[in-house]
Structure 1
Amino acid sequence: MNTINTHFRLSYQIQDEAFKLSQAGNCNLYVAISSRAMRLAVADVERNKFVALEDYELITVFTPLQIAEQLRLIADQSPILQEQRWLDVRISVSNQFFTLVPETLFDPTHQEDYLRLHSNLDPQQHVILYNRTFGLDAVNIFAIDGVIYRMAQSVFPERTVQFTHQTSSLIKSVLHQTDRNAGRVMHLFVERNYVTVLVVDENGLQFCNVFHYLSPEDFIYFVIFVMQEQKMNPEQETITAWGDITPDSSLFNMLKKYIRQVKFGKRPADVGYSYKFDDLFDHRYFELFSLHFCE
């Protein structure tokens, strides 16, 4: 008897009428997992175009075990997650358990030691993984809760799942899109209660961290703190924002109060989008679309 309760809702769904699951063998599946949402997108590799998207909001979910349980329940109802014939399955995880290490210093046998310097790990709970951060001579070492890791693999028993940390895909896309001659630039990826802050200049990535906030005041504190540390002037710099932030939100109003120039980012370039995506804000689902470039 199934005693697990459903604590999610499908908040958005897009599917191009030309896409059929029978075409999965020509497509990649991307899944973004966080404490607040599970999102998936399908990219037709032959046409280099996104053709489907599903956004599931997690409600009253507080533990990794509950997230894993909701993943199973979502997979039970989503034909896209039940399909096994994808070319690639890429899953990103959003959490604060990560660290970037220069590739020249990286020793795989010590990945747990690197991560312990920045995170309070539980060897019984976490699985430690790493991937090379595209566009940097660095390795991103990260942890994923074991119950989520095992559940994600069980959803795709016939595929090899590529796991990555959300910061890796964000860094890849931001470096790909940023004009390196524009000077030092700050980018924000906003989630509910978390914000990833990236600072890029002509030499590449200079700063990356994920902050937990509970209020707009917390949110702006971290933004201003990083600007001060990076010697950036709120009166002169332009901040680019992506993610779960809208022009009428309290977070955006707080940014406008303290930062002279704030703009929303665009979707990743060099990939197409079905016309069904036209109703979306360009700055939404950046973390999901960015997985397309994490080969």
Structure 2
Amino acid sequence: MNTINTHYRLSHQIQDEAFILSQAAKCNLYLSISQKSIRLAVMDTERNKFVVLEDYELITVFTPMQVAEQLRLIAQENPLLQEQKWNTIRLAISNIHFTLVPETLYDPAHQHDYLRLHSDLNPLQDVVLAYRHNSLEAINIFSLDASTYQALEALFPERQLQFVHQTSTLIRSVLHLAPRTNLRSMYVFVERNYVTLLVVGPSGLEFCNIFHYLSPEDFIYYIIFVMQEQKMNPEQETIMVWGDITHDSSLFNILQKYIRQIKLGKKPSDLEYSYKFHDMFEHRYFELYSLHLCE
């Protein structure tokens, strides 16, 4: 007897009329997975254009095992997750279990040791993975719950999946768009109960971390704290914001109260998007689009 209940809802769906699943071999499938959502996108590599986006909100899901269960349930109903012939399948994992290690100090045999300094690892429940940032000369080491990893492997049993941590997608995209100046800038990516903060200066990435917040007061505290630690002035700086935030939200209101200038970010440049994407807020789904910049 199947005792697994459905705890997801499809909150957003876009599909270009020109896309058909038989074209999968010339398309990339991108997935972004967190405890709050499972998001999919399809990139037509011949046209360099995003043609599909689906956003599944996870409801009353509290553990990685439950995320894996919901992923399997979504896959049973979703032809995109049943298709095996994608050109590339790349997945972004959103959690707080990551660390950036200089390439000169990196030893693959000690991945667990590097990450254990920053996270509580359980060898029986966590899979440790790594992604190389060539432009940074650094390695992003991160963990993924084994139940989710196994569910993904089972969906695509004959494919080599490309796993990256969500911070890597943000780093790649932010460095791609950040102007080369002598100024330092803060970039903010908002999720439900989590905020990722990046600081980029003349020499490149200077700071990257994720903070867990429960209230707007928590949210702004971390932003102000990092700005002060990085010698940035909230009264003078302009910060760029992406993610799950709206103009009328309590998070945006408190940002406006403490930060002089706030800009909502746009979709990554140099990529094309089906006309159906034009009706969405530009600052949404940045982490999903940015997967295309990770190689």
TM-score for both structures, normalised by structure 1? 0.99
Give the aligned partner of residue 77 of structure 2.
77
The residue number in structure 2 matching 1:87 is 87
SS in 1 for 2:96: coil
What displacement does 1:157 show?
A: 1.4
Root-mean-square deviation (CA), in Å? 0.7
Which residue of the partner structure matches residue 263 of structure 1? Answer: 263
- 1:202 corresponds to 2:189: no
The number of residues matched between the two structures is 295
Per the TM alignment, residue 168 of structure 1 is displaced from its structure 2 partner at its CA by 0.5
Letter in 1 for 2:95: N
Offset of residue 182 of structure 1: 5.7
**Alignment partners' CA distance in 2, 1:155 and 1:189:** 29
- Deviation, structure 1 residue 134: 4.7
The equivalent residue for 1:178 is: 178
Query: Counterparts of 2:82 and 2:183 in 1: how far apart (Å)?
Result: 46
Match of 1:102 in 2: 102
- Secondary structure in 1 aligned to 2:181? helix
Q: CA deviation at 1:160?
A: 1.1
Post-superposition CA distance 1:147-192 (Å, at most 9, x none): 0000011111121111110000100000000112161100000000
Counterparts of 2:67 and 2:217 in 1: how far apart (Å)?
28
- Check the 8 A contact 1:132/1:139 in 2, yes or no: yes
Question: What residue in structure 1 maps to residue 17 of structure 2?
Answer: 17
Amino acid at match of 2:15: Q
In 1, the alpha carbon distance for the partners of 2:161 and 2:109 equals 22
Contact 1:133–1:171 (8 Å) recurs in 2:
no
Equivalent residue number for residue 32 of structure 2 = 32
Which residue in 2 is equivalent to 1:44? 44
Measure, in 1, the Cα distance between the counterparts of 2:192 and 2:133. 24
1:29-178 map, 5 Å: 29-178=29-178
C-alpha separation in 2, matches of 1:160 and 1:20: 23
User: CA shift at 1:2, angstroms?
Assistant: 1.6
Q: Distance in 1 between matches of 2:233 and 2:214?
A: 25
- Aligned-partner residue type, residue 261 of structure 1: Q
Q: Which runs of 5+ in 1 are unaligned?
A: none
Please say if residues 134 and 168 of structure 1, whose CA atoms lie closer than 8 Å, have aligned partners that are also in contact. no
Structure 2, unmatched stretches of 5+, are none
Q: Could you tell me how far apart the structure 2 residues matched to 1:87 and 1:281 are?
A: 28
State how far apart, in whole Å, the 1-side matches of 2:254 and 2:156 are: 42
Aligned equivalents of 1:134, 1:151: Cα separation in 2: 29
Query: What's the CA shift for 1:270?
Result: 1.1
Q: Which amino acid aligns with 2:87?
A: L
What SS class does the counterpart of residue 181 from structure 1 fall into? coil
Say which SS state the counterpart of residue 206 (structure 1) adopts.
strand
Counting only pairs closer than 5 Å after superposition, residues 243-282 of structure 1 correspond to structure 2 as 243-282=243-282
TM-score after normalising by structure 2: 0.99
Partner SS, residue 241 of structure 2: strand
Deviations 1:230-256 (A, max 9, x none): 000001110100000011110010100
Deviation at 1:133, TM superposition (A): 2.2
Describe the superposition over 1:23-77 as per-residue Cα deviations: whole angstroms up to 9, x where unpaired: 0000000000001000000000000000000000000000111000000001111
Distance in structure 1 (CA, Å) of the matches to 2:251 and 2:134: 30
Can you list the C-alpha shifts for 1:236-281, whole angstroms capped at 9, x where unaligned? 1101000000111100101000000001001001110000001110
1:241/1:182 CA distance change after superposition, 3 Å: farther
1:243/1:286 contact within 8 Å kept: yes
Aligned counterpart, 2:213: 213
Measured in 1, the distance between the counterparts of 2:135 and 2:193 equals 28
Q: 1:210 to 1:70 in 2, by over 3 A?
A: same
Deviation beyond 2 Å, 4+ runs, structure 1: none
C-alpha contact (below 8 Å) 1:39/1:53 kept by paired residues: yes
Percent identity, aligned pairs only?
A: 68
Counterpart-to-counterpart distance in 1, 2:200 and 2:17: 39
